Amino acid sequence: MLGGESVSETQWRTLRGHASVRGHNYYGPTEYTVDAGGLALNDGDERPSIGRPLRNTRFHVLDARLRPVPAGTVGELYIAGEGLARGYLGRPTLTAERFVADPFATDPSTAGTRMYRSGDLARWRRDGQLELLGRADHQVKIRGFRIEPGEIEAALAQIGFAANAVIAREDRPGHKQLVAYLAAPALAAADLSRIRSELAERLPDYMVPAAFVALPELPLTPNGKLDRKGRLARRRRRAPRPPPARTTTPANASGFWRSCSAKFWGWTRSAWTRASSVSAATASARSSWSAAPVRPDCV
């Protein structure tokens, strides 16, 4: 049984690959006791999901105006049902923010009930399974577009990079861009070209990261969660190194430089000689003028 943390695509495929193992993936926040949804791994497809809501539980994937979104569209997951908590002890403001009235409770037995705003981004698949895509509080806005990094991370996992993280960096004021960090030994130019082209087939162009960074492994917090705001956010992207400076002079240019050097020093010596001659002549004229007798009619 899996629960507590999201299942990576690698774990999902590994467990599905063992015929003798029957795994179950369950989902449920602390505010809903105990689990809200789940499925047997063999009942899903190749991508991780949390299945369908369990008995006496209702899932709603809604937009910012609490309207249901169609299948395949990302929205925020709201949970309602018998296992819902009453709120947070001694925190009425937070309770009012996260536990909201359920407009879909039309049955007399559920009238007046509430639903929990989970903060998890999700979307319904065509097969009726629910797929989680990260947290709503990781949402970023770039060039006027609201972007869910979790959706980009899911696309990267589909093309073979299950361990990844996408964040928005603003290394220069006013210049925010998406950067994808991949747990990979190294990325060659051909790899980057393939990643970009495959992402472009799955995502709009404004959601394709501007840069990709290969790391031996993704940094984690002491609790084992991805350290987005800590070491990952502080890690600066390395600028491409300029080509090495030229330290050798071509053979056919050596004569040119010797010629220029000779002309320069020749001009310098001649100019110095002329300047010395002018200085000497000026000094001689001054001494001759000062030594000349003073004529009375000039007084």
Q: What's the pLDDT tens digit per position in 54-72?
A: 999 999 999 999 999 999 9
By CB neighbour count within 10 A (0-12 exposed, 13-18 middle, 19+ buried), where does 3 fall? middle
pLDDT confidence band for 293 (50 / 70 / 90): very low
The better pLDDT of the pair 229, 105 is held by 105
Residue 277: the pLDDT is 44
- Which of 148-162, 169-183, 195-209 reaches the highest mean pLDDT? 195-209
Contact 163, 185 (CB under 8 A): no
Which residues 6+ apart lie within 8 Å of 185 measured at CB? 214, 216
Residue 272: the pLDDT is 41
Residue 281: the pLDDT is 42
By CB neighbour count within 10 A (0-12 exposed, 13-18 middle, 19+ buried), where does 125 fall? middle
Residue 110: the pLDDT is 81
Among 37-46, 204-213, 281-290, the minimum mean pLDDT is found in 281-290
Distance, CA of 33 to CA of 190 (rounded, Å): 48
The mean pLDDT of 14-26, rounded to a whole number, is 83
The better pLDDT of the pair 18, 131 is held by 131
**Ramachandran angles phi, psi of 185, nearest 5°:** -60, -45
| Average pLDDT value over all residues in the chain | 78
Residue 59: the pLDDT is 97
What percentage of the chain reaches a pLDDT higher than 70?
77
**175-183 and 211-215: which strand pairing?**
parallel
Contact 76, 119 (CB under 8 A): yes
Chain centre distance of CA 75: 21
Q: Tens of pLDDT along 181-226?
A: 999 877 888 888 899 999 999 999 999 999 999 888 888 888 777 8
What percentage of the chain reaches a pLDDT higher than 90?
35
Q: How many helices (H) and strands (E) does the chain have?
A: 6, 13
Q: Please, where are the H alpha helices in 175-231?
A: 189-202
Residue 141: the pLDDT is 81
Distance, CA of 63 to CA of 245 (rounded, Å): 55
The better pLDDT of the pair 57, 14 is held by 57
Helix axis angle, 149-158 to 189-202, nearest 10°: 120
Residue 171: the pLDDT is 81
pLDDT confidence band for 100 (50 / 70 / 90): very high
Residue 53: the pLDDT is 95
Residue 241: the pLDDT is 43
Residue 46: the pLDDT is 74
Locate 181 and state its tokens: 């960090």
**What is the 8-class DSSP label of residue 153?**
H
The mean pLDDT of 95-113, rounded to a whole number, is 90
**Does 105 have pLDDT greater than 70?**
yes
pLDDT confidence band for 258 (50 / 70 / 90): low
pLDDT confidence band for 296 (50 / 70 / 90): very low
**Does 294 have pLDDT greater than 70?**
no
**Does 120 have pLDDT greater than 80?**
yes
Taking CA atoms, 55 is separated from 35, 77, 79, 83, 126, in Å, by: 10, 17, 12, 10, 21
The closest alpha carbon to 20, from 46, 42, 44, belongs to 42
Taking CA atoms, 215 is separated from 76, 154, 181, 212, 232, in Å, by: 30, 18, 7, 10, 10
Residue 127: the pLDDT is 87
The better pLDDT of the pair 218, 290 is held by 218
